[in-house]
Amino acid sequence: MAQEQDPTVERTLVLLKPDAVVRGFAGKIIARFEDAALKIVGVKMKQMDEEFTRRHYFDLEERLGAQVYNLTASFMQQGPVIAFVLEGYDAIATVRKIVGSTYPNEAPSGTIRGDFSHYGKTASKAAGKAVANLVHASGNKEEADQEVVLWFDKDELYDYRTLAEIFTY
């Protein structure tokens, strides 16, 4: 399922945030995406430093203010993240559906955030902390394209066929 061959095949970035890593949810979360016939075409673990965090969240401060950026940056730098690129039909929307609402207390059961977290905006504000919501997923095609290039060099991304592609598509 090479991305260039079919315009409905997309690549998107997913980050397992420090809370997902330290809680030991990597395998469970990755399995959710693989169960939906999305394939991993690149993966790495990284500790985000200040400069890289600024590059990843380049517009967050402008959109939501310095306080939100600072809380998010601090949260993302507190431990390693697992970054991976998923590929599949309508991958961006599919990943967003599997992940659930930004605020875990608003995410329905069956989504990653709905099943593994409950932290919401009110608790976040009261504690003066970022929302611990386990996963970052690119929000749209433009964002996915920018994030994939930021996190992965071309030689770190792979093209191969899965059994799901061979038998399902």
For the chain, domains (ranges, CATH) are 3-160 (3.30.70.141)
DSSP calls for 45-65:
EE---HHHHHHHTTTHHHHH-
Q: What are the residue numbers of the active site?
A: 136
Contacts 24+ apart (CB under 8 A), 108-115: 112/29, 112/32
The whole-number pLDDT of residue 1 equals 44
Q: How far apart are CA 47 and CA 50, in angstroms?
A: 10
77: tokens are 């730098």
Evaluate whether 48 touches 77 at the Cβ level (below 8 Å): yes
Nearest CA among 25, 158, 163, 14 for reference residue 86: 14
Q: How far apart are CA 54 and CA 32, in angstroms?
A: 29
The whole-number pLDDT of residue 71 equals 94
Q: What is the pLDDT of residues 104-156, one digit of tens each?
A: 999 999 999 999 998 888 888 888 889 999 999 999 999 999 999 999 999 99
Q: What is the pLDDT of residues 69-89, one digit of tens each?
A: 999 999 999 999 999 999 999
